[in-house]
């Protein structure tokens, strides 16, 4: 694949809710995506883990799809995560995304049959066949079948129509690099973990998708620029700086903290829905103090 959809830095877009989290807030999507595009973001991954797809109803996910496509207005490409508790819902979401103007769809493995490649391929094939869009596997370390090699995985995926790439949220860069070596000429391979973004670049990723790109997009864009210019030491320094922030956020509920920080930045996106832990006043004070101690301001 010479013309790969995902290149560069892609925020895993948070989903804006009302202030009490009870409903989607479509009007809040455009200011957020415009801010992130202005910061250099190359695309968005929508309704994944960071986007709280699993905490939203099918109608809400469809509304978020439509709001994001309208807000971005073709400025950057969009991949929509359509994985759901049932394959039928995933197919419905994929078909809706295609009709709405999505560039691609992705899916996690079946939630009730994790670590089972055969079940995953059955699920993926139904979604891949439902549209003519490129289909991406959303590989998660805790649901992927660890008993297969990269060769076996790619062979199995030959049964999935429109299979075009992976979002690889796993620290096993041996496996990822084997995917690059075996399929990098025709697959769009994207690294996931923010804290090892640079490692993904070294392993051969075409792009990176991450949660904290919502709050420090310029840092990761600059990291990618240094890497592409073979300026590895500055790229390493930026990864270290990002990891200082990420390490601090691990002391809180990370997604809830990211959404709280966007609100601090003047981009209200509402709270993270349960099972995430909402911030109370004491939590906000603690978060602000921790960020001040780092000398960090949301970009």
pLDDT digits (tens, 9 = 90+) for 64-103: 999 999 999 999 999 999 999 999 999 999 999 999 999 9
CA 278 to chain centre: 21
What pLDDT, on a 0 to 100 scale, did the predictor assign at position 2? 57
Percent of the chain scoring above 90 in pLDDT: 94
| Domains of the chain listed by start with CATH number | 8-230 (3.20.20.70)
Is the per-residue pLDDT at 297 higher than 70?
yes
What's the pTM?
0.97
Please count the helices (runs of H) and the strands (runs of E) in the chain.
11, 8
Q: Which pair of tokens denotes residue 267?
A: 């981009």
pLDDT digits (tens, 9 = 90+) for 221-265: 999 999 999 999 999 999 999 999 999 999 999 999 999 999 999
Query: What is the pLDDT, as a whole number, of residue 9?
Result: 99
Number of Cβ within 10 Å of residue 251's Cβ equals 11
Res 142: pLDDT: 86
3-state secondary structure of 12: strand
> What are the structure tokens assigned to 86, written together?
């049932």
Distance CA 35, CA 214 (A): 9
Residue among 215, 255, 269 nearest 67 (CA): 269
> Could you read off the pLDDT of 134-163 as tens digits, one per residue?
999 999 988 888 889 999 999 999 999 999
93-150: pLDDT as tens digits? 999 999 999 999 999 999 888 889 999 999 999 999 999 999 999 999 888 888 899 9
Q: What is the mean pLDDT of residues 31-60?
A: 98
Are 125 and 94 contacting, i.e. CB atoms less than 8 angstroms apart? no
Average pLDDT over the chain, rounded to whole? 97
The pLDDT value recorded for residue 113 is 85
């Amino acid at each position: 694949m010479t013309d790969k959809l995902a290149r560069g830095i892609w925020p895993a877009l948070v989903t804006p809710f009302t202030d009490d989290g009870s409903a989607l807030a479509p009007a809040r999507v455009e200011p957020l995506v415009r801010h992130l595009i202005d910061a250099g973001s190359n695309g968005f991954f929508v309704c994944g883990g960071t986007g709280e797809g699993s905490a939203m109803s099918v109608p809400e996910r469809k509304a978020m799809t439509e709001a994001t496509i309208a807000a971005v207005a073709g400025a950057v490409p969009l991949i929509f995560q359509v994985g759901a508790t049932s394959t039928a819902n995933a197919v419905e979401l994929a078909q809706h995304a295609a009709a709405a103007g999505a560039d691609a769809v992705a899916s996690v493995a079946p939630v009730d049959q994790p670590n089972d490649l055969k079940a995953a391929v059955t699920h993926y094939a139904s979604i891949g066949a439902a549209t003519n869009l490129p289909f991406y596997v959303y590989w998660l370390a805790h649901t992927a079948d660890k008993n297969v090699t990269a060769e076996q995985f790619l062979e199995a995926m030959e049964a999935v129509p429109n299979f075009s790439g992976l979002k690889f949220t796993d620290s096993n860069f041996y496996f990822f690099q084997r995917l690059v070596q075996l399929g990098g000429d025709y697959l769009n391979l994207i690294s996931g973990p923010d804290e090892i973004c640079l490692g993904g670049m070294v392993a051969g990723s075409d792009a990176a998708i991450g949660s904290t790109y919502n709050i420090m997009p310029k840092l990761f864009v600059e990291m990618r620029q240094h890497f592409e210019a073979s300026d590895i030491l500055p790229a390493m320094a930026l990864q270290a700086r990002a990891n200082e922030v990420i390490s601090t956020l691990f002391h809180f509920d990370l997604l809830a903290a990211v959404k709280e920080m966007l609100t601090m930045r003047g981009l209200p996106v509402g709270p993270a829905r349960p099972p995430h832990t909402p911030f109370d006043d004491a939590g906000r004070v603690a978060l602000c103090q921790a960020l001040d101690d780092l000398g960090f301001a949301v970009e």
